[in-house]
Amino acid sequence: DTEVTQTPKHLVMGMTNKKSLKCEQHMGHRAMYWYKQKAKKPPELMFVYSYEKLSINESVPSRFSPECPNSSLLNLHLHALQPEDSALYLCASSQDRLAGANSYNEQFFGPGTRLTVL
Amino acid sequence: AQSVTQPDIHITVSEGASLELRCNYSYGATPYLFWYVQSPGQGLQLLLKYFSGDTLVQGIKGFEAEFKRSQSSFNLRKPSVHWSDAAEYFCAEKYDTGNQFYFGTGTSLTVIP
């Protein structure tokens, strides 16, 4: 199974709402990522988890709160978002760099959640 | 700082013509290099990857890429483009010292009949 799943596919929320994005993989990957992507732009890294611990936070506003409850799941909790946060949110996973020198560590991406903030 | 450059923002080719998308990576002792493709509203799909060995790598959908250390380049090629190849293409680099990936700005490919 080389699939990363994300739910929901689409999400519309108001600026006062609280919602969560979910990501799941069963490839045994111990590195998981959240990216934000605007149209015609490359993915912007938000967070990286390594062995269920947050290892990189790219100065993301606190209205985005990541959570990695276990090695297969990654959540992104959203609260008090702004309209400029509307984007495609991508989850990805890879073998952690500690997996071995000969591991390519390529990322596998989910299909994304299209988020619209009104 | 690590960086990946894709000099061409947008390329238009005729169906059946050959294609080359350029990618230059920043210097790294052991670069892991990747090409991803993204159709509108979709996630990124890995086309091919390079770490070591043969500098000409084959990928899915008839794509290939050549690693040239002397030019810090990893250009993507396809001998004959199909209309379904129209998409956004991203080159990416990763070092073996961490989990972070560095993406280029992307090249948008349009295929005309």
pLDDT in tens, B31-69: 889 999 999 888 999 999 998 888 999 999 999 999 999
Query: Is pLDDT above 90 for A72?
Result: yes
Q: Which of A25-34, A41-50, A93-102, B14-23 has the lowest mean pLDDT?
A: A93-102
Of the candidates B88, B81, B107, which has an alpha carbon nearest to the alpha carbon of residue B8? B107
Cα distance between residue B45 and residue A27, in whole Å: 16
| Strand B31-38 to B44-50 pairing | antiparallel
Contacts of B71 (CB under 8 A, 6+ apart): B24
Residue B1's pLDDT is 61
On chain B, the residues whose CB falls within 8 A of the CB of A42 are: 90, 103-106
Average pLDDT over residues A14-21: 93
Phi and psi for B85 in degrees, rounded to 5? -80, -10
List all residues of chain A from 33 to 92 with a beta carbon under 8 Å from chain B.
33, 40-43, 45, 48, 50, 55-56, 88, 90, 92
Q: Among B34, B42, B101, select the one facing A111 at the smallest CB separation.
A: B42
Taking one residue from A and the other from B, the number of pairs with CB-CB distance under 8 angstroms is: 65
Contact B104 A42 (CB under 8 A): yes
Spatial contact of A26 and A72, defined as CB atoms under 8 Å apart = yes
Amino acid at A102: N
Residue B8's pLDDT is 95
Average pLDDT score over chain B: 92
Cα distance between residue A111 and residue A9, in whole Å: 8
Place of tokens 């009949």: B113
pLDDT for B77-90, tens place per residue? 999 999 999 999 99
Contact A42 B103 (CB under 8 A): yes
Cα distance between residue B46 and residue B7, in whole Å: 20
Q: Which residue has the higher pLDDT, A54 or B3?
A: A54
Across chain A, which distance is largest between two alpha carbons, in Å? Answer: 47
User: What is the percent of chain B with per-residue pLDDT over 90, rounded to a whole number?
Assistant: 74
Residue B52's pLDDT is 81
Spatial contact of A107 and A27, defined as CB atoms under 8 Å apart = no
Cα distance between residue B48 and residue B40, in whole Å: 20
Radius of gyration of chain A (CA): 14
Spatial contact of A87 and A116, defined as CB atoms under 8 Å apart = no
On chain A, the residues whose CB falls within 8 A of the CB of B36 are: 109
The sign one gets for the Cα dihedral A109, B99, A40, A14 is positive
Contact A104 B43 (CB under 8 A): no
Of the candidates B36, B27, B32, which has an alpha carbon nearest to the alpha carbon of residue B76? B36
Residue in chain A lying closest to B48 (CA): A106
Burial class (CB in 10 A: 0-12, 13-18, 19+), A89: buried
pLDDT for A44-58, tens place per residue? 999 999 999 999 888
Radius of gyration of chain B (CA): 13
Distances (CA, A) of B68 to A96, A106, A117, B56: 27, 20, 44, 9
Query: Is pLDDT above 60 for A100?
Result: no
